[in-house]
Amino acid sequence: MRLRALLDSPWLGLRLLSGEEGLDRPVRGVMTTDLRDPSRYLSGGELVLTGLAWRRGPEDFEPFVRILAAAGVAALAAGEAELGPVPGDLVAACARHRMPLFSVDEKVAFATVTEHVVRQVSGERAGDLAAVVERHRRLMSPDPAGGGPDAVLDLLGSDLDLRAWVLSPVGRPVAGAGADRLPAPVRTRLAGEHLAAVRAGRPGPYRTVAGETVYSLFPVDGPPAGAGADPRQAVLAALSGWLLVVEADADEWPAERLDLLHGVTRLIAAERERRDTARSVGRRLAGEVLELLRSGAPSAEVAARLRMTAPALLPGAGAASLWQVVVARLDWEGGPGLSEEERARAAGALLEEALAGPAGGREAADRVAVVPAGGEAVALVPLAAAPGQETGGEGPGEEGAGEETAEAAGPPAGTEGAFAATALLDALRDPLERGLDGLGGPEGRLTLGVSAAVHSAEGLHGALEEARHARRVAAARPGRVCAAGHEELASHVLLLPFVPDDVRRAFTARLLDPLYEYDRRHRAELVPTLEAFLASDGSWTRCAAHLGLHVNTLRYRVGRIERLTGRDLSRLEDKVDFFLALRMR
């Protein structure tokens, strides 16, 4: 119970004299004492009742209250039966130590207050135990409508008045009602704080504040962090697990309540394992498709396997389904004992979350099959074709040739639910950059590549290579989380990842270092001016308007750029060199 509840029972005869800001403290028990130093009998969280018989003078109040505060007492209640109104010196001492102070009316016996508190606390503990039994029953129910994390969270709310949510490692809501109480920016921040806490080796639960609300974060199905744990291993585990978020401060909870919530995380972990098992068929079939593609199997054999895979991932889908391939890789150098298989599994878990979307829910996540393949995670995603886009080709022949022609012209129009690189980046970037930043060096870097949508086995061969090439383009970019799509492979950026690093550095330094040095010494803006000038296709008026400059000022800056670099921005070759140097930074 909370201290505030004592004031809701006027027949207890309690009146608050000090410490209103502490009324939300939990009360774990009650103790009556007239000892000057009762610390040996205190364990924290008690409501201490005293008749002040130990008082000899005003100087006795300060050390008494200091002892209670150090012991973690919830509040002090002083009786008025013996000495009359509570002395002002005691009120002042409690205010200094932020100790809530009540007066007990002379007509009310301490036994009455004690009985009320004990009854409330005992009732809560019994309710906790009953809730555990009911949670377990409902979670393990074979009826999907009756089990799962939502049932557990409903009971946390109804029985314990705790608002809670289950989130994925990147902040996607897995379970929990009232999503408006946990908006997307808050979910993203909490997911990032969780990864950062794991990386730092802090033991859970993790206390964090978002806005003015305190949350406690409980890891689900991950090894506990500790002083002796490898932070990289712990983060890899967290990237594959869920997170229980409770809108409360667990630092103020008794051990029994913490044990209860840890038990809840174990139940939720069991549900996650059950879901993974249910998705194993789709993963196995997708793995067989990818193995056929890697081995160069005939298109007819791949198409036959696709006909089995589509219904397992997307109910109602047939051979006419469209397909998309997404590849992810987690680079984590310098970490002892981190195998390619471990990193591929973690990348696969993150890829599943990204493809499920920020609010995709269970159905969206279940229709994605992600399998590790050669140090990467490869997702085979079935897509619904819009009306008029269905194609029935299943192998070589006239229909198959028609499909190849359509795919050569570009991705099918009207594709429903096709994924774009920018959307995947938005789903992952914020929480991962918050959680992985600070590791130093190239550790903890996720790159993704996205193919176009295809509708045949022949097209799927190219889609896999397309996604892998796009991922290599993303890997050439700076940042913890990078993604590239198939549309970028027809651009000059396809060539940049294959330029040796030393050549890239020498090329960009020769062109841009004089400008950076000039900007640093003179606080000028030559590099931003160059970028704007190239983005305006060399138009003086458009560039000047974009920068808010007079055209003559712009001409002066461009002239300075040309003098410092020895280049002529009226020549196409020099414009291209500057453009590539800026892209290769």
Q: In what order do the strands lie in the sheet with 173-175?
A: 173-175, 164-167, 242-246, 213-220, 206-210
506-535 tens-digit pLDDT: 778 888 999 999 999 998 899 999 999 988
pLDDT number for residue 544? 92
Across 479-498, average pLDDT: 68
pLDDT number for residue 583? 76
Q: In the chain, what are the domain boundaries?
A: 4-118, 143-278, 280-498, 501-583
120-146 tens-digit pLDDT: 776 555 445 455 545 455 544 544 444
Q: Does 221 score more than 70 pLDDT?
A: no
Residues in the chain: 585
Residue 254 φ/ψ, nearest 5 degrees: -75, 165
Fold identical between 4-118 and 143-278?
Answer: no
Fold observed for domain 4-118: 3.40.1390
b/e string for 49-63 if b means 16 or more Cβ within 10 A? Answer: bbbbeebeeeebbbe
In sequence order, what are the residues at sequence separation of 6 or more whose Cβ sits closer than 8 angstroms to the Cβ of residue 122?
A: none
**In the chain, pLDDT over 70 holds for what percent of residues?**
74
Residues facing 32 on adjacent strands: 49
Residue 446 φ/ψ, nearest 5 degrees: -110, 130
pLDDT number for residue 559? 93
Q: Report the distance separating Cα 542 and Cα 484, nearest Å.
A: 29
Q: How far is CA 267 from the centre of its chain?
A: 21
Burial of 503 (0-12, 13-18, 19+ CB in 10 A): exposed
Residues facing 573 on adjacent strands: none
In three-state secondary structure terms, 220 is strand
Q: Report the distance separating Cα 143 and Cα 390, nearest Å.
A: 36
Q: Does 408 score more than 50 pLDDT?
A: no
The strand ranges marked E within 153-201 are 164-167, 173-175
Lowest mean pLDDT, pick from 487-491, 540-544, 570-574: 487-491
Q: Report the distance separating Cα 352 and Cα 362, nearest Å.
A: 11
In three-state secondary structure terms, 195 is helix
Q: Among residues 66, 64, 67, which one has the least CA distance to residue 78?
A: 64
pLDDT number for residue 386? 46
Token readout for 195 is 């990864």
Q: What predicted TM-score, i.e. pTM, was given to this entire model?
A: 0.54
- Biggest alpha carbon–alpha carbon distance for the chain: 105
Q: Does 271 score more than 80 pLDDT?
A: no
Token readout for 494 is 């396809």
Lowest mean pLDDT, pick from 201-210, 438-447, 549-558: 438-447
334-370 tens-digit pLDDT: 544 567 777 788 788 878 777 775 444 455 556 677 8
Q: Which of 310-319, 388-397, 515-524 has the highest mean pLDDT?
A: 515-524
pLDDT number for residue 314? 59
Burial of 16 (0-12, 13-18, 19+ CB in 10 A): middle
428-454 tens-digit pLDDT: 666 666 555 534 344 567 888 888 888
pLDDT number for residue 39? 87
Token readout for 464 is 């896999």
Fold observed for domain 501-583: Arc Repressor Mutant, subunit A (1.10.10)
The strand ranges marked E within 181-301 are 206-210, 213-220, 242-246
Q: Does 494 score more than 80 pLDDT?
A: no
Q: What one-letter code names the amino acid at 326?
A: V
Lowest mean pLDDT, pick from 43-52, 179-188, 249-258, 497-506: 497-506
Which CATH homologous superfamily contains domain 143-278? Dynein light chain 2a, cytoplasmic (3.30.450.30)
pLDDT number for residue 394? 38
